[in-house]
Structures are given as C-alpha cells and as structure tokens.
Amino acid sequence: MKIMAFNGSPRKNKNTATLLEHALKGAASQGAETELIHLYDLDYKGCISCFACKRINGPSYGTCAMTDDLTPVLQRIEEADALIFGSPIYFAGVTGEMRSFLERLLFQYLVYDKQRSTLFKRKISTGLIYTMNVNQSLMEQVGYQQNLKVMEMVLNRIFGAAESLFVTDTYQFDDYSKYVSTAFDAEEKAKRHREEFPKDCEKAFEMGVRFAQQNDTY
C-alpha cells in the first residue's frame, strides 16, 4: 500500500507540511508506505492545452504529454493507493504550484464524453488539507469552503472518493514583532497554535489512518 502526499507550500517545515507529515504518520501506523513531495522543489508548468491527452488513438491519450520534473511524479501516482494534497490559501485559492500540479494531474484523466468519465483505472481515497490565516468565522463569511469544495468534487469524480480538512487561523511568523502584522493579536495567535493546532494535526493523522484502512475496501 502506497500513500503519497504533496506539499503545495513553499515552506517545508511549517503548518501545511506539518499536517501532511502527520497524515503520513497515520498511514504508516497502518503499515502503508508513504512519500511526501514538496512541489516547490520541482521545475514544471501547468497544463499548456496541447490536448495530446485527449487525441483519439494518440500516443499520449490519457497521459500528460509534457516532459519535466512532474513527469515521474505523475507516473508514480498511477500506482498510489491514496493521495493527500496540502496547500496554504493565497487570495481564496491554493498556491500557484499546487494549482499547476492539479491541472496536470487531473486533466489527463478527464474524458470529454457526456458523462465526464475518468480514465483513472481504480478507486482510491484522496484528501485536501487547507491552511489559512483567516479564522473560522471569516472563512465562512467570505465563502472559502464553497469555493474550495469544487476541487473536492473534481477529485471525487476522477478518483472516486475525496474529503477536505480546513485548518484556520494559523500561526504565520515565529516573531510577529518583526513584521507589519497589527491586524492580528500575536498572543492569541500563539495561544491558538498551542491549543488548537495539535488537534488539527490529530485530524490529519486520523485521515492517514482512515485512508490506509479504507483502501482495503476498494
């Protein structure tokens, strides 16, 4: 059993990466082999609309024809039993690196038939872990959940199962006094990080456990 996670944050040891690591620890606790890929380490672009993956009888039908650092990653995903995508939220959406990655991953499997069917050959679990600076109330007020749920729907269509974990009011700086950040209460941020972030990590861990266990039922 192989579970892959993808860090769409430019930071390798902060909130998003930490949550993904906990998810993979949960999967490993059930015997799964795990892999964490930091997307910002790779050199690649988003979909270029060449449509080679859609060309009837074409050599790249159902497969992204571009060749770059993402190519071997997409190949390994073919053998994965679960996928977990993590990204901070920048201006109401995932990072550019994560968006480009998802374009390349998902478009190759999407069929332009009336059913919008999928070329992915198996049903696997997929998860989205979102981290954001806004608190729960503001997230709901501006409609982040509804916007981000669209990708969950796409993953469900392509891979057969998807769920999301929203982690709000995250701790961005080790020392808020060094940055223009008067919009935030640094002490409250630190308090929430101490008290709530471990709970979020536990939810991520449980996602990993669940994915490793669910795989046996697919």
Strand-pairing partners, residue 162, are: 126
What would the mean pLDDT of 52-62 be, rounded to a whole number? Answer: 96
pLDDT at 218 over 80: no
pLDDT score at 140: 87
Query: CB within 8 A of 201, min separation 6: which ones?
Result: 18, 19, 22
pLDDT score at 86: 98
pLDDT at 41 over 70: yes
pLDDT band at 143 (very low <50, low <70, confident <90, very high): confident
pLDDT score at 40: 98
**CATH of the domain spanning 2-217:** 3.40.50.360
Report the share of the chain in percent with pLDDT over 70: 98
More confident residue, 136 or 44: 44
Instruction: Indicate the Cα dihedral angle 188, 194, 200, 201, nearest 10°.
Output: 150
Query: CB within 8 A of 87, min separation 6: which ones?
Result: 8, 9, 16, 94, 95, 98, 128, 129, 130, 131
CA gap 7, 9 in Å, rounded? 5
State the pTM of this model.
Answer: 0.95
pLDDT score at 215: 57
* pLDDT mean across residues, the chain: 95
pLDDT band at 142 (very low <50, low <70, confident <90, very high): confident
CA gap 97, 100 in Å, rounded? 5
What would the mean pLDDT of 34-45 be, rounded to a whole number? Answer: 98
pLDDT band at 153 (very low <50, low <70, confident <90, very high): very high
CA angle (155, 42, 67) in 5-degree steps? 80
Query: CB within 8 A of 44, min separation 6: which ones?
Result: 66, 68, 69, 70, 100, 101, 104
Helix 15-28 and helix 197-214, axial crossing angle in degrees, nearest 10: 40
